[in-house]
Structures are given as structure tokens and as C-alpha cells.
Structure 1
Amino acid sequence: MDQVEIIANSTENSAGVAKQDCGKKCPWGSTSYVSVPCSLTDVMSEELAKELQKEEEITAFQNVVVVDEMPFVTGDNIDTSSDMVLAQMLQMEYDREFDAQLKREEKKFNGDSKVTVSFENYRKLQPFDSDSSEDEVDWQDTRHDPYKADKPSATPKKGFTGKGKDITTKHDEVVCGRKNTARMENFAPEFQVGDGLGMDLKLSNHVFNALKQYSYNEQRRSARLHEKKEHSTAEKAVDPKTRLLLYKMVNAGILESVTGCISEGKESVVFYAKGGKMEDKVVPEECAIKVFKTTLNEFKNRDKYIKDDYRFKERFSKLNPRKVIRMWAEKEMHNLTRMQQAGILCPEVVILKKHVLVMSFIGKDQVPAPKLKDVKLSREDMKQAYYQVLYMMQQLYHECNLVHADLSEYNLLWHDGKVWLIDVSQSVEPTHPYGLQFLFRDCTNVSQFFQKSGVMETLNERELFNAVSNLNITADNEVDFIAEIETLQKVNEDHTQLHGKKTAEFHSDSGDPPIIDE
């Protein structure tokens, strides 16, 4: 009985310590203890022991958030006959206790410091602790990837492992390969590298450097194409310099407005515009703006028509390819002026600025005149059109001293019951080294078109050539005919070299309108 009393008294003292007053008191004062009597049954109670342990923890760590323990799973709601289930339950219980202890140690380590250290990485992660939804799939998660059975292993840390036996550096094949894969994200957005889903991709330095160089070359090529498109007149768009020229014409009152595109060819783009006024010339109400393309890819044989022309021969050798475009526009302006003075139906030149040529519009109410290949004419009208073209070719050869060099149903318009001639930028004189060959080609195109159109009076290409040039070549077949043409061209070329200077001086006073180059 004495032993029981001694145990009871010691238990009372322990409980009194647990129930001490936690209020703020002087740290140097004496601590008073309140003794709470209890029975032997309470002393042996497990619940009392847990309560006393919680009170001690609260007293020692007042600001620590106590992790609520989940009720231990018993056999009432789960089958505990399996040893694996029991082991999992015990492991989960141990992990919860470990996490609670870790929280207390973290609080004790940080104290009241403003800079804290987290022990979160040391926690025991449980399946029920995951906050992510089951529906969400991480792009790096390859656990369910059918193409890879195992999840890629983590990148090993650099430095020594074990007892210095194994060394992993930045030159490791696996580490370097994965690093190269990550660096592919710095490539240009246009360079498709994939998102890495389901792939533990490791690129060698050789492959990565090759891909990097290819990406760099693609960026440069794209930049060149963009710059070329911005600084060139191609397709149905104009470059900033051409737009500036058009704006200046509108601001000067030469043009009232510029609207849509009429047509597009291999050498130029034609726009519709409403005419304004000029001091020294009457501007038509409807105008056509011919913008010569500054790209040199579509019409690469342009120099054949201009470098041997005595009017531009000396200037052609001193110009770069882009300035040749301006000379090409100037050439068409001079040719149109000659044709207009001879009475040939063609567009009237209004003004020329660099590579932009403003002419009168062939059509009415913004509707361009149709090409001869598109218009449907009666047999009599087609016959009259043929004779008009024949007379026009004779005028062009004898009165204008020109050969169209690209005459076909595509460059002949039907307007007001008459044939109009357009597109003469490539026209040359008969003394050109290829002038007679160009004339024979024009005669071939015209003869074939009108023969297909049903005009019975159409001459063949050799007869039409003699009717236009009055050379009266008497060859029976086309091969001998072309051979005699080449012989005549050789004679004309020698004659031009001897008397080219006098001929150039004679044609310098042809009355061509001046070029306005701003």
C-alpha cells in the first residue's frame, strides 16, 4: 500500500507540471505548480498519456501547427489479414509522425528569423498528399508512355559519388545529351523541335551543332526573303519606295487617287488611278500606272533587248541591275512617244518617275479593254482587226523604226471597235542585232492567231514578214528563210557600228518627253 501511494504522489507531481500556468510571467520568478489529484486508473490510462504528451508539445512549441493525425485504420473498415496491408498502414503512420517531428524541427531551427529554411524536401510523400488532379497529365510524366517502359532516370549530380570511384562531370554523355535537348528551346519559333513528350531525348554535340547551324541558316534565309519582299515590287504589292513615289504624285495633284490592280505580267504590275492636273499637260480622267518590278528573277533575259540598243548601250554598261529597271521604263516611254507621233493607237504617256510610268487608261469606267485573245468578235470584225494589226506593224516598222519584239494577242487590246497596241518596253529598232529575228517571231504569232480565228485572208509568217519589212526574201522553206534573216542582221550590225554615232545623233532630237526623276 505504501508503494501505491508513492506512485500516486509521483504521478500527481508529473501532472502538475503538465498543467502549469502558460501565461506570461517573469522569467526570473518562481514557478508555481498546481497539483491535480488523480486515481490509479487515470495513471495507467493510455489516453491520459497522449493528452499529457500533446500538452508538453504545445508548451514547448506554441506556434507550431500540429499535424492532425488521421485515425488509425482498424479491422472494422479494412481487411488486415494481409501482412502487406498491415505493413503499409504502419509505414503511413510512421511517415505522419516523421512529418510532424520535421515540422517541429523546422520551427525550432528557424526561430524568429526573417529568413527561413524549409524542410519540405525531407517530407515523406504519400499518395493522398498529392494536390494535383488525376485528369491533369504532366508533359514530363512518362510513366504511362507506351514507347518507353521505364521513366527516365533523374540527371545524376556532378562531382564524386561513392568513395571517389565514380565521377560524373558536365562532359558525361547522358548529362550533356539531355542538356543539349533542353537548349533546343532557344531555337527560332519556326524551327519545330517537339515538346519532348514521351521521349528521353539525348542529343550529341555533333547533332546539336548541326541543328543549331541549320536553325541559324533558316533564320538568315527567312530574313533575306522578308527584306527582299519589303524592298522589291513583286506580285501585286509595291515596296515602300514605290509607295512614296505614288504618294508624291497624289500630293502634287497629278493623280487624284490610286485604286486596285488591273493586271500583272512578268515585268510589271498595272494599277488604276484617277487623273488630276498638271500645268504643262492635260491629264486624262482615267490613268494606268505601270510599276516595273524591281525583282530580277522573272524576266532574266531583259538585257538582251536593251544592251545592244544604241540609245542605251553606253549607259547600260555603267549601271547596276536595279538601275536597269529605270532604263527599261524609260525605254517604254520613248517607244510610246514615237508610236503616238506616228498615229498608232497606244496609251498616252503622262509622266515617268524612276520605274513608275503613268499612262492613259485604255478602257472605260474602271473596266479595262479586253485582250484580243479574250474578246469574241464576228468574222467580219476579226477580219478588220487583222488588217488593222497588219497596218500597225507596217507603221511601227517604217514610221517609228521599231519592232515590237513581243507582239501577240496578249498585247493587243480591243477598244471602241479598234485594235490598240500596248507593252512596248522591249521594242527595238530593226538595226538591232536580233531585230529581224524578233520581227519574224512577231509575224509568226500574229499569223497563227488569226488563222486559228478563221480569217481566210491571213498571210503565213514568211509572207507577213515580207509585207511588213519589204525585204522580199525568196526562200522556199523556213530554215533558209531564217538563215537569210541572220545574214541581213549581220550586215545591219556592221552598218550600225560604222554609222551608229550619226544615227544616235539623228534620233536624239525625236521630241521624247523629259524624264522626271526625283
Structure 2
Amino acid sequence: MDQTTVTAPKSPWGSVPAAPPACSLSEVMSEELAKQLDEENNLFPGAADPELELPLEDATDTDSDLMLAQMLQMQFDREFDDQLKREEKKFNGDSKVSISFENYRMVHPYEDSDSSEDEVDWQDTRHDPYRAEKPQVTPKKGFVGKGKNITTKHDEVMCGRKNTARMDNFAPEVQVGDGLGMDLKLSNQVFNSLKQHVHSEQRRSARLHEKKEHSTAEQAVDPRTRLLMYKMVNAGVLENINGCISTGKESVVFHADGGSLEEEPVPSEVVLKVFKTTLNEFRNRDRYIKDDYRFKERFSKLNPRKIIRLWAEKEMHNLSRLQRAGIPCPEVVLLKKHILVLSFIGADHIPAPKLKDAILSEDDLSAAYGQVLTMMKTMFSECNLVHADLSEYNMLWHHDKVWLIDVSQSVEPTHPHGLEFLFRDCRNVATFFRRRGVAEALSQFHLFNAVTGLELNVDDDDEAGFMAQIVALEKRNEDHVQKRGKKTFPVNCEEDDPPFKHDSDD
């Protein structure tokens, strides 16, 4: 049988040089080889560059066999610790209870640090009184030490440091000071007190924020009211809302440009009277509404927030009575929950001045007093209403006429305190016009008799006696009404006011 020989394929890069013969370990470590290499270096004295030679003080001292042995042992111990960590991780796995092999480590953690001496800021703090000690970390085992020197996780110093570190978890708005940079120790009692204080402050802040978001404050509205105003603009009732022009104890007034409402023209300039939803702004509202027969049945069934809508509806009905009687007052355009849209009393975005701010001559003051007296009589006799808050602050001077505003608190004379409210109005009117020098201005007592048509005994020095007569008259009227079981109305006042444009959609 022929024997075939296998030849190695030729390399495309040419012939491959033969590898040099391998040297054994004994040849490398032999002294003869070292001497031979030393002699070869001496044959070429200029080959060595003196600039490349390291200075003797910078050269690592490797002549000591002890140092070489320590370096090798350190490297061996590190490799052993790495293998130990792998074994520990493999042994524990995903178990919740883990076993540590730290006691079998060969290299101390601080000795195994890779930080160099150049990176350390060498500042002598041995005599620094504010020098903080290195914080101690609670071991996983729960205690450290042996024998009698056992330190558990309940140690006072350890707990104090841990409580100080946990202050970082407090709310950002809580200022805990700069003590975190020191070795500060907080006891459990102090930490629990701080934690409870932080939680109470967060709850208080949340309540204040919620109250602000759901209330109509001065020159500001809550999101719900703002949404209602946006809907009016989107529906075309208003072209735009310009800004706040007046604030009071019960409402905020905004100026706006009118649009159209169900193919009916809206005045070119209107005002939005937004009744405040904060009940503490006007706590005595129920005094004017709970005894009004028109809302008495509904008052007891509504919550305080819905009473605000009832308050806006009350002013709408009162204004409708004044309009029918021919008394100058704003015209009602639309009622949307607690927002009442009225015609604007003024011109070119400038509201008419209040009577107290208007600059009037003597003739104008006399004419204004006569108009106020006529309006008070008409309100009492024809509209069956008492303003209940009439003063120079709720009367405007526009086009040489006095205009009445803010009639949401107006009540009927048969109200249990209606005549008392009327006497207070007479006092405010008489005081203002007499102070302005109107000669024909009546006193508060004669003005009350002129408006009501009553003939109560008048003594200018005895206001308490006059008030006693009014209270007695109110008591008789109340008893008379309870016996008859119904109300009496003037000629031009209907029992039920006609329905107005009241949009009740949310």
C-alpha cells in the first residue's frame, strides 16, 4: 500500500520564520545567564541613556526579600478575599437570611483601599474641637465586640447618629439646620417630637392650600369660579374680562366687555359680581336671609356654601323690584351660581365714583339728598324693601343721578329686624348729608318717620327711647303676621318675582 505524505499548505505571506527555542526556567534563573547579559551591556557603554535612568531615591527598593515576600503575600490575600466574596454570594443566593464570611478575610478593608496619598488633604485636625468622629455603621449582625463589650443596635450613641441621618428624609420646607455636618446625636424622644411636628406642619399647610384653592379671596378667585368665568367667555356672553375694579366684605367686582346672550344684546360694558365663598368674610349673612319669607323654607335645607348662591339670587330679585319701581340701579344680565352679571355704571372702563368720593357742589348735594329721600320712600312703600346697608359707600353718582348698588342684604319691612335696619340706614344718610352741609337734611328720627309714614315720638337726645318704640312696633307686626299667616304687599310688588335668566348648569 502506498503511503501518502501530508504537506503543510504554504502561507500567502511567505515563509514563516522558525520560533526560537524555548528556555527552561532553570536557564532563566541561572547566574551564568545573568553574567552573560551583564557583559553584553558593558560592551556598549553609550547605549544606556543617563536621562532615562531613575534617581536612586525614586527607585523602588526591591533588594529586600522581605518586602518582595510581603507584596506577594498581599496580592495573594486579595485574590483570596475576592474568591471569598464569590463563594459568599453563591452560598447566600436569594435568601433573606444571609451569612457573612467577613471574619475569614485576609486583608483589612482600610488596607485594601486604593486611595493614594496624593489625594488626601493633609490638614491637622488633632486639636480641632469641632472635629467629627468617623460615623459608626450598625453591623448587619446586630452587635459587635466580644465578651462583655457588646454593642447592640439599641446603643444610645449609635441610635443618636442614626436619628440625625434620618432627618434628611424630612420635608424640604422643614429647615433642620446645619448640624448634619457635625457628630450630632439625637435621642429617640427628640427625634419623635421633630417627626410629629413635621407631620402636623405638613397637614396644616395642606389645609391652608386647600382652603386657598376653594375660596374666593380679595382680588382673586378659586379655580371653580375661574372656570365659570371662562365658560361665559366661551359661550359669547362676555368678550373678555379686564380686571378687578372693586372689593368688599361680601364680593369681588370685575369689569368685562359684553357679548350676546341667546340672540339678545348684552351691554357693551358689564361687571361680574363674584360673591366670596369664604364664609368667614361675612359671618352674619344668615341674619338677613333666614327670616326672609322668600328664602326661609330653603335656608334650613342648604349647606353654608349653597347659601352663597342663595345670596346672589336674593340680590337678583331685589334688583328686579328696584327696576320695576324706576329706581336707578344696575340691570341684571345673568346669574350663574354665585356670579351675578350686571350692567356697568360708568363709562370707558372707569366706574362711577361713590357718593363719598364724588366732588359735588351745594346744588348737587341738595339734589342728591332729595333723590336719596325719594328712593328710600319708594323702596319702602312700592318695592316693600329696606336696603339694610345704605350709606355713602353703596351709592354712586353718575349722570347727575344717585344709583343704588349692593342690595343683596335688603329685606322686607316685615322682617323681624327690618325697621331696625331702616333706622340704621336713616342714621347713615342723615350723618353724611349733614356733615356735607346740606341745610334741608332731616335728622335720623324725622327721616325715619318721613320714610315709613309713622308718627313715632321724637326726642333728639333720646335715641334709646326711639329704638325701644321701633322694637315694640316690630314685635306687634310679627305677632300680627303669625296670626294672619300671610304677608301683605304694596300695590306694585308681586308676591313672587318673575323668573330671571338663571343659568344653573355646572
Give the structure-1-normalised TM-score.
0.75
Give the CA deviation at 1:461. Answer: 1.4
Give the CA deviation at 1:203. Answer: 2.1
**After alignment, is 383-392 or 260-269 more displaced?**
383-392
> Which amino acid is 1:123 matched to?
E
Look up the SS of the partner of 1:297 in the other structure: helix
Q: Which residue of 1 aligns with 2:224?
A: 241
8 Å contact kept, 2:331–2:343: yes
Q: 1:227-266 alignment to 2 at 5 Å? A: 227-266=210-249
Give the CA deviation at 1:152. Answer: 3.9
Give the CA deviation at 1:71. Answer: 4.6
Residues 1:444 and 2:423 are matched in the alignment? no
Give the Cα–Cα distance (whole angstroms) in 1 for the partners of residues 478 and 464 of structure 2: 21
Q: Which residue of 1 aligns with 2:471?
A: 486
Give the Cα–Cα distance (whole angstroms) in 2 for the partners of residues 103 and 313 of structure 1: 95
Give the CA deviation at 1:98. Answer: 11
Q: Percent identity?
A: 60
Q: Which residue of 1 aligns with 2:495?
A: 508
**After alignment, is 340-349 or 439-448 more displaced?**
439-448
Q: What are the superposed Cα offsets for residues 306-340 of structure 1, whole Å, 9 maximum, x if unpaired?
A: 00000000000000011101100000000000001
Q: Which residue of 1 aligns with 2:187?
A: 204
8 Å contact kept, 1:142–1:151: no
Give the CA deviation at 1:378. Answer: 1.9
Give the CA deviation at 1:457. Answer: 2.4
Give the Cα–Cα distance (whole angstroms) in 2 for the partners of residues 498 and 24 of structure 1: 135
Look up the SS of the partner of 2:261 in the other structure: coil
Look up the SS of the partner of 1:343 in the other structure: coil
Which of the numbers 480, 483, 502 marks the counterpart of 1:498?
A: 483
Do the aligned partners of residues 328 and 194 (structure 1) sit closer, same or farther apart at CA in structure 2, a change above 3 Å counting?
same
Give the CA deviation at 1:484. Answer: 0.6
Residues 1:429 and 2:412 are matched in the alignment? yes
Which of the numbers 429, 441, 445 marks the counterpart of 1:458?
A: 441
Give the Cα–Cα distance (whole angstroms) in 1 for the partners of residues 20 and 478 of structure 2: 120
8 Å contact kept, 1:437–1:485: yes
Do the aligned partners of residues 305 and 459 (structure 1) sit closer, same or farther apart at CA in structure 2, a change above 3 Å counting?
same
Give the Cα–Cα distance (whole angstroms) in 1 for the partners of residues 107 and 187 of structure 2: 37
Give the Cα–Cα distance (whole angstroms) in 2 for the partners of residues 237 and 97 of structure 1: 82
Which of the numbers 247, 252, 257 marks the counterpart of 1:274?
A: 257
Q: What are the superposed Cα offsets for residues 114-139 of structure 1, whole Å, 9 maximum, x if unpaired?
A: 9799968433999982526689xxxx
Give the CA deviation at 1:37. Answer: 7.1
Q: Which residue of 2 aligns with 1:413?
A: 396
Give the CA deviation at 1:496. Answer: 2.7
Structure 2 unaligned runs (5+)? 1-18, 40-54, 60-66, 88-104
8 Å contact kept, 2:391–2:425: yes
Look up the SS of the partner of 2:403 in the other structure: strand
Q: Which residue of 2 aligns with 1:395?
A: 378
> Which amino acid is 2:219 matched to?
K
Structure 1 unaligned runs (5+)? 1-22, 43-67, 73-95, 136-140
Q: What are the superposed Cα offsets for residues 261-297 of structure 1, whole Å, 9 maximum, x if unpaired?
A: 1111111111111111223643111000111111111
Give the CA deviation at 1:499. Answer: 3.8
Give the Cα–Cα distance (whole angstroms) in 2 for the partners of residues 250 and 370 of structure 1: 27
Q: 1:59-78 alignment to 2 at 5 Å? A: 71=58
> Which amino acid is 1:339 matched to?
L
Which of the numbers 32, 46, 64 marks the counterpart of 2:27?
A: 32
Give the CA deviation at 1:342. Answer: 0.6
Q: 1:73-112 alignment to 2 at 5 Å? A: 104-105=75-76, 108-109=79-80
8 Å contact kept, 2:259–2:268: yes
Give the Cα–Cα distance (whole angstroms) in 1 for the partners of residues 190 and 222 of structure 2: 40
Do the aligned partners of residues 269 and 97 (structure 1) sit closer, same or farther apart at CA in structure 2, a change above 3 Å counting?
farther
Q: Which residue of 2 aligns with 1:6?
A: none
Give the CA deviation at 1:421. Answer: 0.7
**After alignment, is 170-179 or 430-439 more displaced?**
170-179
Give the Cα–Cα distance (whole angstroms) in 2 for the partners of residues 103 and 253 of structure 1: 86
Q: What are the superposed Cα offsets for residues 32-67 of structure 1, whole Å, 9 maximum, x if unpaired?
A: 24615769xx9xxxxxxxxxxxxxxxxxxxxxxxxx
Look up the SS of the partner of 1:407 in the other structure: coil
Give the Cα–Cα distance (whole angstroms) in 2 for the partners of residues 24 and 374 of structure 1: 116
8 Å contact kept, 1:310–1:504: no
Do the aligned partners of residues 37 and 263 (structure 1) sit closer, same or farther apart at CA in structure 2, a change above 3 Å counting?
closer
8 Å contact kept, 1:142–1:197: no
Give the Cα–Cα distance (whole angstroms) in 2 for the partners of residues 196 and 24 of structure 1: 71
8 Å contact kept, 1:346–1:422: yes
Give the structure-2-normalised TM-score.
0.77
Q: What are the superposed Cα offsets for residues 483-510 of structure 1, whole Å, 9 maximum, x if unpaired?
A: 1111011112222323454559984343
Q: Which residue of 1 aligns with 2:44?
A: none
Do the aligned partners of residues 161 and 232 (structure 1) sit closer, same or farther apart at CA in structure 2, a change above 3 Å counting?
closer
Do the aligned partners of residues 489 and 144 (structure 1) sit closer, same or farther apart at CA in structure 2, a change above 3 Å counting?
farther
Q: Which residue of 2 aligns with 1:123?
A: 111
Give the Cα–Cα distance (whole angstroms) in 2 for the partners of residues 26 and 37 of structure 1: 17
8 Å contact kept, 1:102–1:123: no
8 Å contact kept, 2:384–2:489: no
Which of the numbers 185, 194, 215 marks the counterpart of 2:168?
A: 185
Which of the numbers 327, 348, 354 marks the counterpart of 1:371?
A: 354
Give the CA deviation at 1:180. Answer: 1.6
Give the Cα–Cα distance (whole angstroms) in 2 for the partners of residues 110 and 204 of structure 1: 38
Task: Count the aligned residue pairs.
Answer: 441
Give the Cα–Cα distance (whole angstroms) in 2 for the partners of residues 69 and 500 of structure 1: 123
Give the Cα–Cα distance (whole angstroms) in 2 for the partners of residues 110 and 310 of structure 1: 92
8 Å contact kept, 2:243–2:255: yes
8 Å contact kept, 1:348–1:360: yes
Do the aligned partners of residues 380 and 172 (structure 1) sit closer, same or farther apart at CA in structure 2, a change above 3 Å counting?
same
> Which amino acid is 2:441 matched to?
T
Which of the numbers 457, 464, 473 marks the counterpart of 2:456?
A: 473
**Root mean square deviation of aligned Cα:** 3.8
